[in-house]
């Protein structure tokens, strides 16, 4: 178990603040984009922006389900479309919103850099567990900063477009899905840390008894105590980040962050979705739907042979890059599927060992700390399996969003 450094303690205290700043900015910007689309939505009569016909658009049963106290992964887009609260007020403060976006993105990059520094320190110190921990932290901030910057850049380019509503609604959904996956990951980490804390407490209590009997060294007992404190510190940090992400999710879906909204577990990924993907057909759809390519088709002027050639080259280049990206996304989904199968094998083995440990512990063949070690191994393998499942879910969702036009052309 890693020992939390002074810098990590400082980050824990400020973690909640930085997540709230970031996600508040996301919600504010979403409001602006919905304002720009109100006219188009009204013209559509019963489209997603027509609040008078919202129940008709979703259907009564589905609309009522959105009002319950359980946030489902599959409901995120409808919740954002229906209840995101800041529609009119942001129209008067667009420039300030963009500045808030930029400041929040810079803050995410700052904490990404700090996590990278801590990771290097852990590597130099030979602390494998701490290195793994800060590597995960760095990747979390990197992914969040990347998604956030893409949305910021998109808002700058398309805030006045009549297609902004659908585009931003989808961008918001992608961001909300990422948040919900992060929340689910932290929930699993919390459970693992709780088991670690329980194990270390048991070891510490047994060590204290042995020390009093003269059969354990004081240094060994102190080590157990430090492990307990480290687990508690990590647990507190995870809980603070869970609260921050929870508050941000509530803001995005227009609900009060008072604890009344329950975040449901994300359903297991369906690997068979990959079998329904047709890379050639999906790439053609992605090219037709991609917002950057659509913008280029309409914005690039053609008033001479040279400008016509330039537009043609630009469009061909963009389409080729997107085709390459679609291939990478497809391959990534397949890789994540294989990784899930490997994680499933490890999880099933740990599950069997856990069942055997349950039996041995019940008949007194295992001590409590031995049993807890078996249980911890099971919990960690379960966490690995869940992480692989979430990774596959995200990979398939990213591919599907690209087909719908949400993909950067790099």
Q: Which domain holds residue 324?
A: 273-410
Per-residue pLDDT reduced to its tens digit, 35-52? 333 323 322 333 333 344
* Nearest to 143, CA basis, from 340, 398, 402, 410: 398
Distance CA 287, CA 326 (A): 10
Distance CA 296, CA 318 (A): 9
* Nearest to 184, CA basis, from 407, 400, 385, 21: 385
Distance CA 155, CA 364 (A): 63
Residues 155, 203 within the same domain: yes
3-state helix, strand, coil in the chain (%, to 5): 80, 0, 15
What the block records as the tokens of 77 is 């887009």
Residues 128, 70 within the same domain: yes
The last residue of one of the domains, among 230, 247, 267, is 267
Residues 372, 405 within the same domain: yes
What percent of the chain stands above pLDDT 70?
76
Per-residue pLDDT reduced to its tens digit, 159-174? 444 456 677 778 888 9
Mean pLDDT for all residues in the chain: 80
Residues 372, 314 within the same domain: yes
What the block records as the tokens of 403 is 């087909």
Residues 106, 253 within the same domain: yes
- Compute the average pLDDT of residues 393-400: 96
Per-residue pLDDT reduced to its tens digit, 74-120? 999 888 878 865 433 444 456 667 777 788 788 888 888 888 888 89
Query: 257 with 246: CB under 8 angstroms?
Result: yes
- Compute the average pLDDT of residues 323-340: 97
Confidence of residue 341 (pLDDT cuts 50, 70, 90): very high
Residues 287, 256 within the same domain: no
Task: Check residue 164 and give its pLDDT.
Answer: 60
Q: Is the pLDDT of residue 8 over 90?
A: no
The last residue of one of the domains, among 250, 267, 284, is 267
Query: 20 with 246: CB under 8 angstroms?
Result: no
Task: Check residue 300 and give its pLDDT.
Answer: 61
**Total structural domains within the chain:** 2
Residues 175, 131 within the same domain: yes
Task: Kindly tell me the sign of the dihedral angle through the C-alpha atoms of 47, 48, 49, 54.
Answer: positive
Per-residue pLDDT reduced to its tens digit, 187-237? 999 999 999 899 899 989 989 998 898 888 999 999 999 999 999 999 999
The last residue of one of the domains, among 225, 248, 267, is 267
Q: Is the pLDDT of residue 249 over 80?
A: yes
Most confidently modeled range among 265-279, 284-298, 303-317: 265-279
Residues 17, 165 within the same domain: yes
Query: Which is more confident, 223 or 144?
Result: 223
Q: Is the pLDDT of residue 334 over 60?
A: yes
Distance CA 55, CA 86 (A): 20
Task: Check residue 36 and give its pLDDT.
Answer: 34
Task: Check residue 13 and give its pLDDT.
Answer: 45
Residues 21, 60 within the same domain: yes
Residue 348 CA: distances (Å) to CA of 111, 342, 362, 386: 36, 10, 21, 12
Residues 218, 292 within the same domain: no
Residues 59, 131 within the same domain: yes
Q: Is the pLDDT of residue 17 over 70?
A: no
Residues 380, 408 within the same domain: yes
What backbone phi and psi angles, to 5 degrees, belong to 277? -80, 135
Distance CA 193, CA 281 (A): 45
């Amino acid at each position: 178990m890693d020992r939390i450094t002074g810098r990590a303690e400082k980050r824990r205290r400020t973690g909640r603040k930085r997540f709230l700043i970031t996600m508040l900015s996301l919600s504010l910007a979403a409001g602006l984009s919905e304002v720009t689309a109100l006219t188009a939505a009204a013209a559509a009569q019963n489209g997603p922006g027509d609040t008078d016909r919202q129940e008709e658009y979703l259907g009564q049963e589905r609309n009522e389900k959105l009002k319950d106290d359980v946030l489902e992964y599959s409901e995120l887009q409808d919740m954002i479309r229906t209840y995101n609260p800041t529609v009119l007020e942001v129209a008067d403060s667009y420039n300030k919103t963009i500045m808030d976006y930029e400041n929040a993105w810079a803050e995410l990059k700052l904490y990404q850099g700090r996590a990278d520094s801590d990771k290097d320190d852990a590597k130099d110190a030979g602390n494998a567990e701490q290195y793994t921990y800060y590597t995960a932290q760095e990747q979390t901030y990197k992914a969040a900063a990347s998604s956030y910057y893409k949305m910021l850049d998109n808002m700058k380019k398309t805030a006045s477009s009549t297609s902004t509503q659908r585009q931003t609604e989808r961008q918001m959904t992608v961001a909300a899905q990422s948040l919900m996956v992060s929340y689910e990951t932290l929930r699993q980490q919390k459970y693992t840390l709780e088991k670690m804390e329980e194990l270390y407490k048991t070891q510490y209590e047994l060590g204290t008894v042995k020390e009093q009997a003269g059969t354990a060294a004081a240094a060994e007992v102190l080590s157990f105590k430090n492990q307990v404190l480290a687990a508690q510190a990590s647990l507190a940090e995870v809980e603070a980040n869970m609260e921050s992400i929870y508050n941000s999710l509530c803001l995005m879906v227009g609900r009060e962050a008072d604890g009344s909204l329950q975040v449901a577990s994300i359903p297991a990924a369906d690997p068979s979705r990959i079998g329904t993907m047709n890379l050639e057909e999906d790439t053609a759809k992605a090219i037709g739907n991609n917002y950057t390519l659509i913008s280029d088709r309409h914005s690039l002027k053609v008033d001479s042979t040279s400008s016509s050639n330039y537009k043609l080259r630009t469009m061909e280049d963009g389409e080729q890059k997107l085709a390459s990206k679609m291939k990478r996304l497809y391959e990534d989904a397949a890789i994540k599927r294989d990784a899930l199968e490997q994680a499933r094998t490890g999880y099933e083995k740990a599950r069997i060992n856990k069942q055997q440990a349950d039996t041995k512990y019940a008949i007194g063949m295992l001590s409590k700390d031995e049993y807890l070690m078996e249980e911890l191994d099971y919990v960690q393998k379960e966490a690995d399996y869940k992480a692989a499942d979430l990774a596959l879910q995200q990979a398939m969702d990213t591919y599907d969003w690209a087909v719908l036009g949400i993909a950067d052309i790099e």
